Every structure is written in C-alpha cells, then in structure tokens.
C-alpha cells in the first residue's frame, strides 16, 4: 500500500518500548504518528486527523479515559485502547467514554492486526448495511426481517431493537449501559437482568447452539458483540 492511500494511525503510549514495538509491526502497512502523553495526543489528533488511534490508558499527564472524552467532543475517529488494566470497570469506562475496542496488554500481534482491520472496515462503512449477512444469519434493516438457517425468525419488538443495535455496530462491543439506555431508556440502567433475559431469548432464536453462541458473543462483565465471520468468537 502506498503512503498516499495508507490509513493513518496515531499511537499514544508513554513507554518507548511499546511505541517501538507498535511501530515495528505497523509501519509496513500504515502511516504512523506518535504521541507520548495525553496532551500531545490531543494535539496530534487535531493536526494529523488519523483514521485510527491506539491509546494507552496510563498516561503520565492525562488519564486515557479523559483523553477519549475530549477527543469525542469533536471527532468520531475510531479508538482502540491498549492497556494493562484488566478490570471490567476500566473496560466499561473506556467503552462508555467512546472507545471502539479494548485490548489488554500483553496481546498477540495477529489479534491486534485483526482488530485494527475490523475497526477500519467499520469506519469506512459507517452507514449500517441495509442487509446484514453473516453465515446463516440475515437481517434486513429496511424490511425489519430476520432470517436464520433459511427460515424467517419472529422476534419481539425489544429483541429486534437489540439485534438492530448490534447489527448497526457489528464487530464492536456495546456495553450493558449502552444497550440498556438505547433500548429501554435511562430508567433501566441499573436493571441488567432485563438485558440478560432478552439476550438469552434472542440467542435461542438465532443461534444453532445457544450455549455456544457464534453470532452474539459476550465480553464478560462488559457487554455484547455481534461477531462478523472474520472475527474470533468468545463466549
């Protein structure tokens, strides 16, 4: 890929070894910019207009969550968090603040590259596909029609609203809070059991084996992801 057509990635990490590692694995495919702290990241994001940001949370001057919030005030640029923080609360906070994905350090090169490519594909096609097809599942957003393994599936309005949101953000983790707020409203933010019940019912209708879901996968303690066929499932 020539530089003129290459995607631009902004790497934000205060550790020199991590920056060098990321540069080594990405420089052949992407145009790279680097920032060592949060304020430098904000300036670089505005100046270079990257297509994707790889962001560490543990920055010396500005917490990564705050950095995400400030970027989201003016830019929809995709953000993948790369962090040693493993707590569910940190993942949820980052995703709720506007991050598109979250990888815990250490991570595999293949997984990182897959997440980058999937995120860039979604950003290029931000308008939801009118007809989503993945394996044995087809969702027609215009016709509000769901077909699985060749048969039309009858969903309740709530089940369809959940599936529509997941389809519109296919490949991206949606947190419990995001789903509860958008489907039921803010009054239900503290009632995750409502979401769990509907996800369970939805899986029974669209999964070949609901106990080993291949479409709607779980990010433990965080939320759910509608997996695309080129992504690795985790239940």
**CA–CA distance, 144 with 100 (Å, rounded to integer):** 26
Is 141 found in the same domain as 109? no
CATH number of the domain where residue 33 is located: 3.40.50.2300
pLDDT at 126: 58
**pLDDT tens per residue, range 139-194:** 998 888 999 999 999 999 999 999 999 998 888 899 999 999 889 988 888 899 99
**pLDDT tens per residue, range 7-26:** 999 999 999 999 999 999 99
Residue 232 lies in a domain: no
pLDDT at 58: 92
Q: How many angstroms separate the Cα of 85 from the Cα of each of 82, 88, 141?
A: 9, 9, 37
Q: 87 lies in which domain range?
A: 8-124
pLDDT band at 235 (very low <50, low <70, confident <90, very high): very low
CATH number of the domain where residue 145 is located: 1.10.10.10
pLDDT at 135: 87
Is 113 found in the same domain as 32? yes
Is 185 found in the same domain as 204? yes
The number of C-alpha atoms within 13 Å of 172 and in the hemisphere containing its C-beta is: 26
Cis peptide before 106 (omega within 30 of 0): yes
For the ranges 31-45, 113-127, 139-153, 177-191, the lowest mean pLDDT is seen at 113-127
Q: What is the dihedral of CA 166, 170, 175, 181, to 10 degrees?
A: -40
Residue 178 lies in a domain: yes
pLDDT at 233: 41
pLDDT at 77: 92
pLDDT at 172: 87
Q: Provide the terminal-to-terminal Cα distance of the chain, rounded to the nearest Å.
A: 35
pLDDT band at 4 (very low <50, low <70, confident <90, very high): very low
Residue 109 lies in a domain: yes
Is 154 found in the same domain as 61? no
Average pLDDT rounded to a whole number, residues 221-233: 74
Burial 62-100 (b: 16+ CB within 10 A, else e): eebbebbebbeeeeebbbbbbbebeeeebbbbbbbbbbb
pLDDT band at 212 (very low <50, low <70, confident <90, very high): very high
**CA–CA distance, 49 with 31 (Å, rounded to integer):** 12
Is 161 found in the same domain as 98? no
Mean model confidence pLDDT for the chain: 89
Burial 186-199 (b: 16+ CB within 10 A, else e): eebeeeeeebeebb
pTM over 0.85: no
**pLDDT tens per residue, range 60-85:** 999 999 999 999 988 889 999 999 98
Q: Count the Cβ atoms, other than its own, within 10 Å of residue 124.
A: 9
Domain-ending residue, one of 75, 103, 124: 124
Residue 1 lies in a domain: no
Residue 77 lies in a domain: yes
Is 114 found in the same domain as 35? yes
Is 65 found in the same domain as 45? yes
Of 210, 193, 214, the residue nearest 202 (C-alpha): 210
Is 13 found in the same domain as 117? yes
Number of domains in the chain: 2
Residue 19 lies in a domain: yes
Is 138 found in the same domain as 88? no
- Is 50 exceeded by the pLDDT of residue 3? no
pLDDT band at 112 (very low <50, low <70, confident <90, very high): very high
Is 43 found in the same domain as 15? yes
pLDDT band at 127 (very low <50, low <70, confident <90, very high): low
């Amino acid at each position: 890929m020539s530089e003129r057509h290459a995607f631009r990635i902004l790497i934000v990490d205060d550790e020199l070894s991590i920056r060098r590692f990321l540069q080594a694995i990405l420089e052949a495919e992407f145009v790279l910019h680097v920032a060592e702290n949060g304020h430098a990241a904000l300036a670089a994001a505005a100046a270079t207009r990257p297509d994707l940001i790889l962001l560490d949370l543990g920055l010396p001057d500005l917490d990564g969550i705050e950095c995400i919030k400030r970027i989201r005030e003016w830019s929809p640029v995709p953000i993948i968090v790369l962090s040693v923080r493993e707590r569910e609360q940190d993942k949820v906070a980052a995703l709720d603040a506007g991050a598109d994905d979250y990888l815990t350090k250490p991570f595999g090169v293949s997984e990182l590259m897959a997440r980058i490519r999937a995120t860039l594909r979604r950003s290029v096609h931000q308008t939801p596909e009118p007809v989503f097809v993945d394996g044995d599942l087809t969702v027609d957003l215009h016709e509000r029609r769901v077909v699985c393994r060749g048969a039309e599936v009858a969903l309740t309005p709530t089940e369809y609203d959940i599936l529509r949101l997941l389809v519109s953000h296919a490949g991206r983790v949606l947190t419990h809070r995001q789903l509860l707020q958008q489907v039921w409203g803010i009054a239900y933010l503290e009632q995750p059991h409502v979401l769990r019940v509907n996800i369970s019912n939805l899986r029974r209708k669209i999964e070949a084996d609901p106990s080993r879901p291949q479409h709607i996968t779980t990010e433990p303690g965080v939320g759910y992801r509608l997996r695309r066929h080129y992504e690795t499932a985790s239940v």
